[in-house]
Amino acid sequence: MKKVLELKNVSKKYQAKNGEIEALKDISFFVNEGEFVSIIGPSGCGKSTLLSIIAGLEPKTEGEIKLEEKIGYMLQRDSLLEWRSIYNNVMFGLEIGHKKTKESEEYAIELLKKYGLYEFKDKYPNQLSGGMRQRVALIRTLAIKPKILLLDEAFSALDYQTRIMVTNDIFKILKNENITALIVTHDISEAISMSDRVIVLTKRPATIKNVHTINFEMENRTPLNCRESPKFSKYFDTIWKELDVHA
């Protein structure tokens, strides 16, 4: 299988007035094409920093990152621009990259139609539900045709029921569009239900504690139906213990 992303000994130190903070230490892993990989760890351990570094939003201190394909990025909040219609929000990424051509516009319209948002294209974000807004944000990212998607706690701003449905929704969309995903989350069940592998990080400075391969051995696995598998709670327990959460 083709590796589309590979990290070798990546470290990150922050310089602050009151000293140096070591956020990431010696992180190495890879992601294969079409794979869904989750990164999970205690809050504040530097998971989001890792994604920012991969996306090139922040410089790394040491190490090497090999990135084969174009990436897209999804944040915790949908960050839709309230003054733009849904259609113009979807166009945002294309506009920024000066890629707004007839072709790319047609592709975005096709995505809107495919995922049930076309009839809302002239509405404004505040007229849409949280789940729909997140879907618009996803289409905005997909419109630039990324091959790898980085999801940074992308569902944590949604309420529980919506989150489960949106996770399911987005999982299907990504599989459908044949996109590789790297997911950062603090939600163990979300990590297990969505991914092929779960990387567990330690607390700061974050190092890789363990990598779990998740395999439910079922056809047409979705985040919703794999929650019913007996293996689900087994995975959950193992990872829970590893995370070593203290209240």
CA angle, corner 160, sides to 172 and 55, nearest 5? 55
Give yes or no for residue 75 binding other proteins (CB under 8 A). Answer: yes
Least CB distance to other proteins at residue 70 (A): 11
The answer to whether 45 contacts other proteins (rule: CB under 8 A) is no
User: Applying CB under 8 A, which of residues 28, 43, 96, 245 lies at the interface with other proteins?
Assistant: 96
Q: Phi/psi of residue 99, each to 5°?
A: -120, 20
By CB under 8 A, residue 93 contacts other proteins: yes
Q: Which of 21, 57, 211, 218 binds other proteins (CB under 8 A)?
A: 57
Contact (Cβ atoms closer than 8 angstroms) between residue 5 and residue 54: yes
Cα–Cα distance between 224 and 165 in angstroms, integer? Answer: 8
76 exposed, middle or buried (CB, 10 Å; 0-12, 13-18, 19+)?
middle
Task: Check binding of 245 to other proteins (CB under 8 A).
Answer: no
69 forms part of the interface with other proteins (CB under 8 A): no
Q: Which is nearer to other proteins, 92 or 155 (CB)?
A: 92
Should residue 64 be labelled a site residue for other proteins when binding is judged by CB under 8 A?
A: no
Q: Is 160 in the site for other proteins (CB under 8 A)?
A: no
Size of the residue set binding other proteins (CB under 8 A): 17
Q: Which residues contact 64 (CB under 8 A, 6 or more apart)?
A: 7, 8, 9, 10
Tokens of 12: 């990150």
DSSP 157: T
Nearest approach, Cβ of 47 to other proteins (angstroms)? 15
Does the bond joining 205 to the residue before it have cis omega, within 30 degrees of 0? yes
Nearest distance in Å: CB 120, other proteins: 12
Q: Which stretch binds other proteins (CB under 8 A): 6-14, 76-84, 159-167, 182-190?
A: 76-84
- In the chain, how many H helices and how many E strands? 7, 9
Binding residue for other proteins, selected from 8, 13, 77, 172, defined by CB under 8 A: 77
Q: Quick one: which of 70, 71, 67 has its CA closest to 4?
A: 67
Residue in this structure with the two tokens 């293996």, named with its chain if needed? 231
Report, in Å, the least distance between residue 77 CB and other proteins: 5
**Which residues lie near other proteins (CB under 8 A)?**
55, 57, 72-73, 75-77, 79, 81, 83, 92-93, 95-97, 141, 144
